[in-house]
Amino acid sequence: MATQLSLFADDINDEERRPALSRTDRTLVAKAIRCLEAVYLTKGDCLTSPQATRDYLKLKLFGLPSEVFVCLYLDCRHRVIRYEELFKGTIDGASVHPREVVRRVIETNAAAVIFAHNHPSGVAEPSQADLRITQRLKEALALIDVRVLDHLIVGEGETTSLAERGLL
């Protein structure tokens, strides 16, 4: 089964997405993302390791000037169906709407999801709002038998996994 992705390679070159990087660095980041996608997102065993998922999401989200909430939609064998940026916010938050998440999950026919967002402040610690929205999304998706496998928070030096911390 070929993996269908919504790639944002063109967005990555956009100066508004990573204004602190030079054009050369933005091009390098875009190439790195394409390489990771070629290796991890086109094979049957894509993103099976937590570290591969972390690396991929960190490349996609690190250095963005505003908070972006994304979803990796997965099939029943946890292969990536699609990567999608669902909500964009400000420097310290993004409004996440469970209704829209459920709608997109149904449209993609996903069996499981991995959520992620960045903290432009660089601190990867989950806030109370992060924990609350994760719980709300988990409950909403449980009603349609879709599992939330993880919610990753990308910071400056690290990426925090709510699943690894036992917070899911």
Write down all domains in the chain, each with its CATH number in brackets: 9-161 (3.40.140.10)
pLDDT of residue 22: 79
Residues in CB range of 98: below 8 A, 6 or more apart:
133, 136, 137, 140
d(C-alpha 160, C-alpha 168), whole Å: 13
Tens-place pLDDT, residues 67-119:
999 999 999 988 899 999 999 998 888 999 999 999 999 999 999 999 999 99
**H/E element, 40:** helix 23-40
Tens-place pLDDT, residues 7-20:
333 344 455 566 66
pLDDT of residue 47: 67
